[in-house]
Amino acid sequence: MRKFSTLTDQEILALAISNEEEDGRIYSDFAYAMREKFPDTSKIFTDMAKEEDQHRRDLIDLYASRFGQHIPLIRRQDIAGFLIRKPAWQIQGQGIDAVRRHARQMELDAARFYRQAATRTTDIATRKLLGDLALAEDRHEQAAGAIELDRLPASKREEEDEDARRRFVLQIIQPGLVGLMDGSVSTLAPVFAAAFATHLPWNAFLVGMAASVGAGISMGFAEALSDDGKLSGRGAPLLRGLICGLMTTAGGIGHTLPFLIDNFTTALMAAVVVVVLELFVISWIRWRYQDTPFGSAIVQIVIGGALVFAAGVLIGSSG
């Protein structure tokens, strides 16, 4: 891998052309991926792709006037220390805000790199070229901001952000919360029934693990098979099932792990503390993402958990 400081002016210009081509493709990918759900943001990236294409043309014209028609292939990954762009699909998977931030950061990172590179060269022509490229990237970033203000006023941005939030709640939070509630509440009865029936923490731990894993598998399949997500907008069934199953298992394992403690009384008290924390987390999630008043969420989940807990204690103590 070559060092940037070893590149000639011709190679630096070729690298800049390659960078503009890659950035333009990334913006085009963003525009295409968001054309249906976020049409206004998609238009932003379409305009930005056009800007990058024009910069590429300008660089090619400058290169041809100085060095001829052949442009050597030099890419970011060929240069040590150069900023590597993340794949467009990876950024898209992180949500619309991540895509917007990445686009702005692309231009800022490029400008900063060129400025840093300019300070490491003693060649006047190379220093001037690097400075010009840094200024060009600054203009790109300013243009991106102007395009965003023009294309995406506050009302449109808020509307798209709210749509993204609804999808996140529907596709991630909801199946996860269903699983967490089922795992945290439904496994209380078998775990504490085994604990009070035997007064042996290890037996309670085995019952809790079996109940948690079994419930996780069951809930995962149930969620994945409930619907295909096309009409409901709930997203990929496999992902929903995986999230629901894992959260169900996690909810049950939380108050099962304390029974690894040998002392029965200590293990029991620790498990009760974990149960309280689990119910609090569930209530907070319902308040944060489902607009449920926090007091009501606490009361509802505590009543349900207390009933199941009492059932387990009574059944276990009856033996």
Domain residue extents for the chain? 2-152, 161-318
* Residues in Cβ contact with 189 at an 8 Å cutoff, skipping those fewer than 6 apart: 308, 309, 311, 312, 315
Exposure b/e, 254-280, CB count within 10 A at least 16 = b: bbbbbbebeebeebbebbeebbeebbe
Q: At what angle do helices 124-151 and 96-118 cross, to 10 degrees?
A: 160
Q: Which two tokens stand for residue 296?
A: 């009501």
Give the residue from 184, 198, 182 showing the smallest Cα distance to 267: 198
Q: At what angle do helices 264-290 and 237-254 cross, to 10 degrees?
A: 140
CB 195 within 8 A of CB 204: yes
Fold exhibited by the domain 2-152: Ferritin (1.20.1260)
CB 245 within 8 A of CB 179: yes
Q: Tell me the backbone φ, ψ of residue 3, rounded to 5 degrees.
A: -90, 145
Q: Distance (Å, rounded) from C-alpha 52 to C-alpha 27?
A: 9
319 residues of the chain, pLDDT tens digit each: 787 678 787 887 888 889 889 888 988 998 898 888 788 778 888 888 887 888 788 889 878 888 889 999 988 888 765 656 677 777 877 777 778 777 777 877 778 767 876 776 666 766 777 787 788 777 766 655 555 555 556 666 566 666 677 778 878 888 999 999 999 888 999 999 999 999 999 999 999 999 999 999 999 998 888 777 654 567 788 988 999 999 999 999 999 999 999 999 999 999 999 999 998 999 888 888 877 788 888 888 888 888 888 888 898 888 6
User: Residue 253: what pLDDT?
Assistant: 94
